[in-house]
Amino acid sequence: MTSDQTIPSAVSWFEMPADDLDRAAGFYRSVFGWRTPPMGADGAYALTVAADEHGNPTEVGGINGGLHRRTDPADAGPVVNIHVADVDAVLQQVVAAGGQVVRPRTEVPEFGLSMALFADTEGNVLGVYRSGGAED
């Protein structure tokens, strides 16, 4: 499955904060056998199951993720990310349904993504993203 074939509204990525990236990457390698290649310029790691050249899982049920350096005490736990066709439209739906935008759409040109964070009606923080870069 290439990034162009990602199913919209599917949970397809998770992120976890870490105080010590090397220690955390070693933990997940040791316990689960996950690959932990470096990702990005800030020393982050990917957490991957079997994946194609685009980083998409090649095994049914596989969801890739990443470790990033915790920079804010509020960055307390894992975030599940949902692939969507239009980040702004989803954020409007979140607000209309009683949720709130935690971080508005942000462009991540290094990875060709648009992403945002929202809180649901129960205070759970999740992410939405669109691969393929900036939206109009």
For 23-63, what is each residue's pLDDT tens digit? 988 888 887 788 888 877 777 777 777 666 666 667 767 78
Domain span at residue 28 reads 14-75
What is the side-by-side order of every strand in the sheet holding 38-39? 38-39, 44-47, 64-69, 10-18, 79-83, 125-131, 113-119, 100-108
What CATH code is carried by the domain that includes residue 43? Answer: 3.10.180.10
Predicted confidence (pLDDT) at residue 8 exceeds the cutoff of 80: no
What value does the mean pLDDT of the chain take?
Answer: 81
Last residue in a domain, options 24, 48, 75? 75
Predicted confidence (pLDDT) at residue 108 exceeds the cutoff of 60: yes
Instruction: Please report the pLDDT score of residue 133 as a whole number.
Output: 54
93: how many CB neighbours lie within 10 A of its CB? Answer: 14
133 or 47, greater pLDDT: 47
Predicted confidence (pLDDT) at residue 4 exceeds the cutoff of 70: no
Instruction: Please report the pLDDT score of residue 43 as a whole number.
Output: 78
Q: Would 127 be classed as within a structural domain?
A: yes
Last residue in a domain, options 25, 48, 75? 75
